[in-house]
Amino acid sequence: MPMENAELTTEQVLSRDIPWETYMATKLITGTDFQLLRRYDKKAESYKAQLLDDDGRGYVRVFVTILHDVFKEETVEYVLALIDEMLTANPKRARLFHDNSLEDEDTYEPFLRLLWKGNWFIQEKSCKILSLIVSARPKVQNGVDANGDASGSKKKLTTIEDVLTGLVDWLCAQLKKPTHPTRGIPATINCLATLLKEPVIRSSFVRADGVKLLVPLITPASTQQSIQLLYETCLCVWLLSYYEPAIEYLATSRALPRLIEVVKGSTKEKVVRVVILTLRNLLSKGSFSILMVDLGVLQIVQSLKAQAWSDEDLLDALNQLEEGLKDNIKKLSSFDKYKQEVLLGHLDWSPMHKDPIFWRENINSFEENDFQILRVLITILDTSSDPRTLAVACYDLSQFIQCHSAGRIIVNDLKAKERVMKLLNHENAEVTKNALLCIQRLFLGAKYASFLQV
The per-residue pLDDT for range 326-344, each reduced to its tens digit, is 888 776 767 888 888 898 8
**Per-residue pLDDT at 355:** 85
Q: pLDDT tens digits, residue range 383-418?
A: 999 999 999 999 999 999 999 999 999 999 999 999
Provide the percentage of residues in the chain whose pLDDT is more than 70: 92
Instruction: Enumerate the CATH 1.25.10.10 domain ranges in the chain, comma separated.
Output: 209-332
Between helices 297-305 and 312-331, what is the axis angle to 10°? 150
The answer to whether 163 and 112 are in contact (CB under 8 A) is yes
pLDDT for the residue 92: 95
- In this prediction, residue 272 has a pLDDT band, given cuts at 50, 70 and 90, of very high
Q: What is the pTM of this model?
A: 0.71
What is the average per-residue pLDDT within 267-290?
93
Q: How many Å separate Cα 40 from the centre of its chain?
A: 41
CA gap 277, 321 in Å, rounded: 9
CATH architecture assignment, domain 334-450: Alpha Horseshoe (1.25)
SS3 content of the chain, % helix, strand, coil (to 5): 70, 0, 25
Cβ atoms of 132 and 88 closer than 8 Å? no
CATH 1.25.40.150 domain range(s) in the chain:
334-450
Mean pLDDT of 360-389: 93
- Spell 3-36 as b/e; 16+ CB within 10 A means b: eebbebebeebbeeebebeebbeeebbeeebbeb
Q: Cα 93 to chain center, whole Å?
A: 29
pLDDT tens digit string along 147-175? 444 444 456 788 888 899 999 999 999 99
> What confidence tier does 133 reach under pLDDT thresholds 50, 70, 90?
very high
Please report, for residues 13, 169, 256, 294, 434, the alpha-carbon distance to residue 359 in angstroms, rounded to integers and kept in the order given. Answer: 74, 52, 31, 21, 17
What architecture does CATH give domain 209-332?
Alpha Horseshoe (1.25)
Q: Report the distance separating Cα 147 and Cα 165, nearest Å.
A: 15
Q: Directed axis angle between helix 184-195 and helix 224-240, to 10°?
A: 40
Give residue 252's pLDDT: 85
